[in-house]
Amino acid sequence: MASTNQSPQYQKAQARFLDAQTNEEKLRCLEEMIRLCPKHKSAEKMLANLRSRYVKLKEKIEKIKKVFRSSGKPSIKKEGMQAVIVGLTNSGKSSLLSLLTNAKPEIAQHRFTTKTPVVGMMNYFGINIQLIEIPAIKSEYYDAGLVNTADVILILVDVFDDIEKIENELKRARGNKIIVFNNKNNVDERKVESTLKSRKLNYVIVGIETRGNLEELKEKTFKAFGKIRIFTKEPGKPRSDNPLVLEPESTVKNVAEKIFHNSSKVRETRIWGPSSKFPGQKVGLEHNLKDLDVVEFKTR
């Protein structure tokens, strides 16, 4: 692609093309090179060569995407609450997934290791949350569809500048976002917290290598779904370990219907917890429940 009349801007675009790691990056560089290529007669051959490379590369990308859609992409069934981990390449997404779930993703130092979404189940006090690691943003394997439909998005970064870069790619995403700042560079945590607070972000500062603050991350992830946890118990017995997950403002009747499929079976209800005036309070079916309430039913 040499030419004696290349502008400095063209030469920079060419250098970015040579350094590009993905086909998408190369395609964007070629677009810029075509735009900046000299338009005089002596440069016609070079311009034709650029356009030919652009067409071939675009066809290659479309072919990869077609194969990926038809056979390479696993079918992922949404299980109740779904969260995704997004980030740039080598940000530690696979390591974070392996720490939070039962998944065993491939972890490597080279770029763009993850080529398909990896699914794991994160347990939080008896609640299972489906957690999916998405291939890196800017990768040809990045799955915007899964990101856009997820309930919660964990944005994994280790430098502040990456936050804006990633959020620019998430404009169609509807899920609640949590910035997960991996403090692998040992920046003063007070400085990190002050910066994230000043941007009015929902965040957690973690240490993937040290496993720091992972329980806080689990808690914030659950809270981002906007659900409440309701425990049940039988008379004279301890409460269950696994709570029901319900919408805010759910009532005793909602719990009864979930358990018995018919609230008319309930003869008496007692509750303990945030929505009760005192432990073991008798309430009616229309009583509004709060997070971490315990409900006891006596049936007919």
Positive/negative CA dihedral, 164, 153, 213, 131:
negative
219 and 109 in a common domain: yes
95 and 217 in a common domain: yes
CA distance 175 to 287: 30
Mode of pairing for the β-strands spanning 203-206 and 266-272: unpaired
pLDDT (tens digit per residue) in 114-152:
678 888 999 998 899 999 999 888 887 888 888 988 999
State the residue range of the domain holding 16: 8-72
pLDDT (tens digit per residue) in 168-218:
889 889 899 999 999 887 778 888 889 998 989 999 999 888 888 999 999
Domain count, the chain: 3
243 and 167 in a common domain: no
- Range among 21-25, 52-56, 285-289 with highest mean pLDDT value: 285-289
CATH of the domain at 119: 3.40.50.300
Which carries the bigger pLDDT value, residue 20 or residue 153?
A: 153
Return the pLDDT at 76.
66
208-228 burial, b for 16+ CB within 10 Å, e for fewer?
beeeebbeebbebbbebbebb
- Range among 58-67, 100-109, 129-138 with highest mean pLDDT value: 129-138
**Would you state the structure tokens that stand for residue 183, as one six-digit string?**
């403090």
User: At which of 41, 72, 103 does a domain end?
Assistant: 72
Residue 179 half-sphere exposure, CB side, CA atoms within 13 Å?
A: 24
User: At which of 161, 193, 224 does a domain end?
Assistant: 224
CATH of the domain at 236: 3.10.20.30
144 and 104 in a common domain: yes
146 and 172 in a common domain: yes
Model-level pTM greater than 0.75? no
67 pLDDT exceeds 60?
A: no
156 and 30 in a common domain: no
Query: What percent of the chain has pLDDT above 90?
Result: 42
